Structure 1
Amino acid sequence: MEPKVREELLTFLARLTSEGDLLATPPGASIQSIVRGEDDDGVGVPSTGKLIVTRDTLINASLIAAWLRRGEPLLLVGPEGCGKSVLLEQCFSELRGTTTATVNCSAQTTAENAIQKLSQMCGKPVSTNTGRVLRPRDSDRLILYLKDINLPRPDKYKTIQLISFLQQIITYNGFYDEHLEFIGLERIQVVASMNPTSTVGRHPISTRFTAIARCAYMTYPDRDQLVQVYSQMLHTALVEAAENNPMWSNEASCTKLANTMLDIYDGVKRSFRPDDYRHYQFTPRNLTEWVQGLQRLAMGVEVLDGFAYEASRIFRDRLVGEEAISTYDGIVRQAMAVQWQWSGPSGGEATLLSTLGASVEERLDSKSPPPALAQWKLEDFAELAAGKLKQFERESKDLGLLLFPEVLQRIAALDRVLSLPGGSVLLCGRAGVGRRSATSLVSYIHHMDMFSPCLTRNYDVKAFRNDLKNVMIKTGGENTPMLLFLEDHHISDSTFLEYVNSLLSGGEVP
């Protein structure tokens, strides 16, 4: 149920039964005690997950905990970025003797992908008195978790093969393999999550499936709970900053900064809506990325400068047109001036945050965290970038790249993303603005091999899959940093984008 309808039902039931809050959790309850169905006596192993517990978190966990313990099929529905996956993964981790097999669904996902995942986790079917069955190898129970279950594309009969397969294994506790032999399932639970079907790219799923699965709905936390979550995250993220400025070790300062974040976030959501441009979709996930970006600040970088810079990279870089950018700048200036009397970077000079000054060892050491973002004056950064450009042109080819301020900002933004493990970015703009040149320079600085498909008349989906396979072999097998650069003319088939989406979301191609 949606929150409003759920609240009305609870009010009616409370009046009918003369009970209080029917979803209230015991004082001091934890996710662990709720999921395991045990009294929380304060003894035992504490939770080590990344979930910050709030009132809504405990309520949502109490809704699904009994179904998880009993092994019933579960479907969790909620808007994008509301925390479905984080909640489920935390609950899974609290179940004893349970392993999880995750399938990141895409438009190309079929029943075969789910069967392959089950085979990876269970091995070959074993023979029993009742026939051949799949059972977990290394645990008492296996949870098959399917993310974005309503992304697979339906066929011409409006049937989604994956949904039909799940319906079969839930109803009959097994499936027929390619030899028409029935394979039973033992101690395997199906859990799925999805965005509402009104979200772009989602498809309605069969009511026959929802009729046999337990369904729960969760929504975004309210502002008070968001402040609670992000003030705790900021307190953890700013531990190093507190060494230089004790103010950031104060919980009150972190709470104040969290309120500033939400003021900017609410202002951006009000001013820029998906009705204007489809990619104006802002969720609490962006706030989480914002806090994670602050953890990368180098020693000596002013927290408020880094705070405003990260906000610009997450929100400002998505905006279309000078008017939208001007509106965004006004939102940030007002929020920062009111609460922090901040009017711009320290010293009043234009600055950029970048890892361009990091050493080769820092970049290539896969065991260490990503290089820290150091603060550069625009003139110093231009001098550094000019030196890197000169080296590149000496070793590779002449780019003819003019390093004026907009190009320097683009280089710094690309550097920030590509210095992260698995970093990805979508560059939009007119032809000839220097996207490929800037990307080539940054990939050279990061010691990445840059690869683009070489199109021919017969280049098709099979050839694209082979190119992806070669890139993944070099990256995973040979430990070679790679940058896959795709331009609009490379996307000759919409299936290419679906493969790239699968690669980004799950690290594999169906």
Structure 2
Amino acid sequence: MESVGVRGVTSIGLFPLFVGAMAPPSAGRNTICGRFTRHLNVLCIDAFDDGTLDRIFGAIVNWHFSTQEESTVQQLQRASSREVYKLVSSTFLPTPAKSHYVFNLRDFSRVISGILLVPNSALSSVEKLMRLWLHEIYRVFHDRLCDDNDRSEFFKIIKRVGEKNFRLRMETVLAHLVPEGEDLTPLHVNNLIFGDYMIPDAEEKVYDEIQDMSDLTQVVETYLHEYNVVSKSTMSLVLFQYMIQHVARISRVLKQNSGHALLIGFAGSGRQSCTKLAAYMASYDLFKIEVTKTYGVTEWRDDIKKVMMKAGGDGKPTVFLLLDTQIKDESFIEDVNTLLNTGDLPNLYTNEEKAEILEKIQAVAKDEFSSYNCSHRSDPGRRSQSV
């Protein structure tokens, strides 16, 4: 086992208590000497077997697609996603040049979460279900690959696993994305897009497939025009197909709970512009820090307080945009990592601020509880169904 880092240090009387975390060898983790581990009680959590994964995620998918009678849904949760996860984890291993090739159960769960974004009523055919599965698999695993050979190998894996479990040919399922006379290639799969922004004025936005790229281009151009009308800093963008695909990817990340993304590119490639446009399309507030010469850890923590109070305390959906040029201290990255893993930073708030947060949460909880009781008193059948 290799050390990841000490998670916490406490003390019992005069004897310190060390709690650490370890993981299999990869990404530069160093082996721990046995002379050190002999002083510790080592607790090992083994990887889940296939039966456990099928039972956990299969129960979730079966509940979501409870009214679907197609047996392909069962294949989706039993084999397809799990097989791709296992093959990707064993095929694309981390190297010094590809240290981010680390795949775990979080990636598997993101695939399932993406599939659950589409309402059960919107899945009208097995072909559409396979396209949804392909899209989520590509967004979770393919977008992390940084080499053309790896992308080509991933396409072969997806094609083999998908056709075996769904019993449908990818050329047939994705025929609308391939021009006449051409063969299906990995580039054609990039035009497979799902989103909830095609009807801007809809009361309830539905995450669904977008089959016409020209319609998508017109909708995104409309969003861009409206953004330039209401924003103080306008964006003069040329919305070519590749950029629209990136905006769609960011929009999907914002749609998911605890969604976060790392955008990599050259300066001036449009990373900020895509994020701003996607945040506006999702009706999210955009929060950015303003770095000055005197900006330090104290100012950083104050900004973190502001964005967390805005999102959690006031209940406003917010996008926190952090640029690589704004990272003046390594502790900024550590704080972001802690936020993504736990949703909180230790010792961030004073007692007075904690009391204010509790008051806001209590008021929201009371309103939710009263509305829940009123709705279930008026509809007893709904209460029995929810229980």
Tell me the TM-score range normalised by the shorter chain: 0.7 to 0.9
CA distance in 1, matches of 2:304, 2:236: 30
Larger Rg: 1
Q: CA deviation at 1:192?
A: 6.1
1:306 maps to 2:132 = yes
**Alignment partner, residue 236 of structure 2:** 400
**Alignment partner, residue 352 of structure 2:** none
CA distance in 1, matches of 2:201, 2:35: 55
**Alignment partner, residue 50 of structure 2:** 223
**Alignment partner, residue 272 of structure 2:** 436
* 1:425-445 Cα deviation digits (max 9, x unpaired): 111122222110010011112
TM-score (norm 2): 0.73
CA, structure 1 residues 210+506, in 2 after alignment: closer, same or farther (shift >3 Å)?
Answer: farther
**Alignment partner, residue 264 of structure 1:** 84
1:321 maps to 2:176 = no
**Alignment partner, residue 330 of structure 1:** 156
* 1:24-62 Cα deviation digits (max 9, x unpaired): xxxxxxxxxxxxxxxxxxxxxxxxxxxxxxxxxxxxxxx
CA distance in 2, matches of 1:469, 1:261: 38
CA distance in 1, matches of 2:137, 2:170: 15
**Alignment partner, residue 236 of structure 1:** 63
Contact 1:294 1:307 (8 Å CA) reproduced = yes
Please identify which structure carries the higher helix content: 2
* 1:109-166 Cα deviation digits (max 9, x unpaired): xxxxxxxxxxxxxxxxxxxxxxxxxxxxxxxxxxxxxxx99345xxxxxxxxx43x24
Structure 1: unaligned runs, 5 residues or longer: 1-77, 80-147, 153-161, 176-189, 364-370
TM-score (norm 1): 0.56
Contact 2:114 2:256 (8 Å CA) reproduced = no
- Correspondent of 1:282 among 103, 115, 118: 103
Contact 2:61 2:112 (8 Å CA) reproduced = yes
- Correspondent of 1:380 among 215, 240, 244: 215
CA distance in 2, matches of 1:382, 1:253: 32
- Correspondent of 2:288 among 416, 438, 452: 452
**Alignment partner, residue 193 of structure 2:** 352
Q: CA deviation at 1:255?
A: 3.8
- Correspondent of 1:506 among 317, 342, 349: 342
Secondary structure of residue in 1 paired with 2:170: coil
- Correspondent of 1:196 among 12, 23, 26: 23
CA distance in 2, matches of 1:372, 1:207: 57
Q: CA deviation at 1:482?
A: 2.0
CA, structure 1 residues 468+316, in 2 after alignment: closer, same or farther (shift >3 Å)?
Answer: same
AA at the equivalent of 2:290: C
Contact 2:135 2:192 (8 Å CA) reproduced = no
Secondary structure of residue in 1 paired with 2:23: coil
Secondary structure of residue in 1 paired with 2:209: strand
Aligned-pair identity in percent equals: 22
Q: CA deviation at 1:451?
A: 1.9
Structure 2: unaligned runs, 5 residues or longer: 178-190, 347-387
Q: Report the count of equivalent residues.
A: 322
CA distance in 1, matches of 2:202, 2:176: 33
**Alignment partner, residue 114 of structure 2:** 293
CA, structure 1 residues 469+360, in 2 after alignment: closer, same or farther (shift >3 Å)?
Answer: farther
Q: CA deviation at 1:389?
A: 0.9
Q: Which has the higher contact order (CA 8 A, sep 6+)?
A: 1
Bigger mean CA offset, 389-398 vs 489-498: 389-398
Secondary structure of residue in 2 paired with 1:438: helix
- Correspondent of 1:391 among 213, 219, 226: 226
Contact 2:210 2:216 (8 Å CA) reproduced = yes
Q: CA deviation at 1:263?
A: 2.8
Provide the alpha-carbon RMSD of the alignment: 3.3
AA at the equivalent of 1:374: D
